[in-house]
Amino acid sequence: MFDKVIKISSKKIYAEINPNAGGAILNISSFKNSHNWVWLKSKNFIPDLNKSYDEQWNGGLEELYPCDFEEQFEIGIGPDHGELWSARWDILEKDSDYCLLETKGTFTKSKISKKISVIDNTVQVEYKIFDTIKEPFLFKPHLAFNLELNPKLELGKSNFQKVEESFGNISNPELHFKNYLKKNTDDFGFFYVNNYQIPITLNKPEIGESIELKFSEENLRYFWIFLTQGGWMKKNVCVLEPCSNKYKSIVETTSNTDFYWNKVGQNFECSYSISVVND
């Protein structure tokens, strides 16, 4: 059992993980620039289950299961932002370049494993969920990246749909995402993204470095973005969200079996990767 933040690395990049707070990835940096791409408040975060997720959001690269908000299931009301972000994860294996984490859901009773590997310039994250709940659910990596050095997000010829019509003040996201994402402009919004292009790239020309996001599209068939440039709770962060479901509400999603992972009761697997690319 490890009680502290752990570090894994290759010759090019390194990652830091906190097994005591969601098994979240706290840092992805190249040895060349030592620039942490991850948005994070504290490496010493301890979740408080008496507070809402938004009140204490710490950032990092985490995941949501089985829901995005408190939602009614046959087995009860699912916890706000799911059960994994606040979970303590056991470390089953660890070497210099990978770790294998495992936890058990307090609500779903599912067993979830997460293998995080560093291979050359890439962080690879692989999930397996055993004993999934026997009804539709949501699984979503929730990947928070900072807006330091005014990054540019490259999505291809994407179009956008608001997750909630009343949330946010970005009226033309197609135009907005063509610009560099500057801090403290008071802009914010939450979108479903269609016609995106993989890899999804976040580029910081000032340091000649970018990251590329890829994900397994068989079970993560949809993609969302949450962006706040100081406009929501004074935070400056871009959250990239590959997702199993088309919509936030499971009730809305289940109107069409193509809109969610519909192999109910079977084991669920997916993966994503973040590559750090230097010019």
The structure tokens listed for 192 are: 């479903």
Give me the domains of the chain, ranges plus CATH numbers: 6-278 (2.70.98.10)
Q: Is the pLDDT of residue 249 over 90?
A: yes
Over the stretch 116-159, which tens digit does the pLDDT of each residue have? 999 999 999 999 999 999 999 999 999 999 999 999 999 999 99
Mean pLDDT for 76-92 is 97
The structure tokens listed for 202 are: 């976040």
Q: Which residues of 166-181 are buried (b: 16+ CB within 10 A; e: fewer)?
A: eebebeebeebbeeeb
Q: Are 244 and 269 in contact (CB under 8 A)?
A: no
Fill in the DSSP letter of residue 79: P
d(CA 204, CA 110): 39
**What pLDDT does residue 3 have?**
58
The structure tokens listed for 39 are: 């948005």
Query: Does 66 sit behind a cis peptide bond, omega within 30 degrees of 0 on the bond before it?
Result: yes
**What pLDDT does residue 255 have?**
87
Over the stretch 27-68, which tens digit does the pLDDT of each residue have? 999 999 999 999 999 998 999 988 999 999 999 999 999 999
Over the stretch 184-219, which tens digit does the pLDDT of each residue have? 999 999 999 999 999 999 999 999 999 999 999 999
Strand-pair partners of 71 = 78
d(CA 138, CA 136): 7
Helix ranges (H only) for the chain are 53-56, 173-176, 250-253
d(CA 224, CA 232): 17
Cα Rg of the chain, angstroms:
18
266 phi, psi to nearest 5 deg:
-90, 165
The dihedral formed by the CA atoms of 125, 129, 133 and 137, expressed in degrees to the nearest 10: 20
